[in-house]
Every structure is written in C-alpha cells, then in structure tokens.
Amino acid sequence: VLTANCATTGANGLDTGALANNTWYHVFLIALAAGATPAILVSTSASSPTMPGSYIYKRRIGSVRTNGSAQFIAFTNDGDYFLWSTALFDVNTTTPGTSAVTSTLTVPTGVNVHAIMNVHITATPNASRVIVSDLAMTDVAPSSGAAAPGATTGGNSAQDGRVGPVTVRTNTSAQVRYRCDVSDGGVTMRINTLGWLDY
C-alpha cells in the first residue's frame, strides 16, 4: 500500500510547499518509467503537479481536502466513489428567487466530477419545485416535465420536498445550478453534499 507523508516534499509527499487550510489537493500515482516501482504525489494542481526528479509518468487517482487546521477531512473511497464521513451543508437559503443560482459544492475543483447531493425544498403555503442541473445544460424553469434532477412539493399548505441522492456533473469550479419556481419568505432551499463520483 502506497501512502504519502505530506510533511515532506517529493515522491510520496507534496509536490511543493506545505499543507494549507481549506484547500483541495489532487493525488497522483507517479513512476520513473513504465513498470517501475510507483510512488504517490499530492498537489494542488489537477493536471500539472511539480514532478520529482526523474519521474515522468503520472496519473491522477483522486482528490482530498483539508479543513481549517490543514487536516484531511474524513471520507470513504471505493474506486471512483467518494463519500464524506459527514454530509456537508452547502446551500441553505430562504427566499431563493426564481432565477437560476450558481452554487459551489464541497467537491473537488480543477476537474469535473459528479456531485452526489440530497436536495430539499420547503414551501409554505405554496406548492414549489426546484431543478438542479449541470451548468453545461441550457437553463430551464422547473416544471413537471423538466428533464433534470430536482425536488417537488405539492398542494397548497406547508410542504416538504426531498429527493436524493441526486447526481449532477459540476464544472471545474465545483459548481452546479439550481432554480426554484416560486420564492417568498416561506420557501427554503437546501443542498447537502454527500460526496462525488470521480470518473
């Protein structure tokens, strides 16, 4: 099993510098030559880490994030599947408006991943819908026929609409779009980020 000591730089450590607070790091498998004994390299760059001398091959295998004390946030990993040990509350807004909102999630930056989320909308007293979509898609208003992930409430009294897990591809800034069809003081929009798929 290969491990990285991020208190050092070079093979099996950081490519350069020291661990920073609240920062995404990308983990690479590196080698001197085809078939040679590999090592791990950790970098803030998703595509161009500073390679140790003589190392020429690299492949990004995942990403990790530090907290406010430069410690890696706990997660579970199974191949391309990454799950936070504790879901992160990335959106919690009242009176969200009816125009599209670009929201940043706690998933890797510098690459496109498929964010895994729980989406929740509360509406009192109105029925309400929300649609969550990839920013590469055309922005559309929520409707019963909208072909994208989302959540729907119904009726004409206090309503809770939940859907999850929802998977939506992010841009390289870890962003997705959400859009509600009604907005007032009784409408609250929430997104909990559970993890991501890193294909």
Which H helix or E strand runs over 29? strand 24-31
Query: Which residues fall within 8 angstroms of residue 70, CB to CB, at 6 or more apart?
Result: 18, 19, 20, 21, 23
Nearest to 189 by CA among 134, 135, 123: 123
The answer to whether 114 and 136 have CB atoms below 8 angstroms apart is: no
pTM equals 0.90
The answer to whether 61 and 42 have CB atoms below 8 angstroms apart is: no
Tens-place pLDDT, residues 135-156: 999 998 888 777 777 766 655 5
**Range 79-102 average pLDDT:** 96
Q: What is the pLDDT of residue 34?
A: 73
Structure tokens at 112: 């496109």
Tens-place pLDDT, residues 15-30: 999 999 999 999 999 9
Kindly write down the DSSP assignment for every residue of 43-85, as one continuous string. Answer: ES-SS---PPTT--EEEEEEEEEB-TTS-BPPEEEETTEEEEE
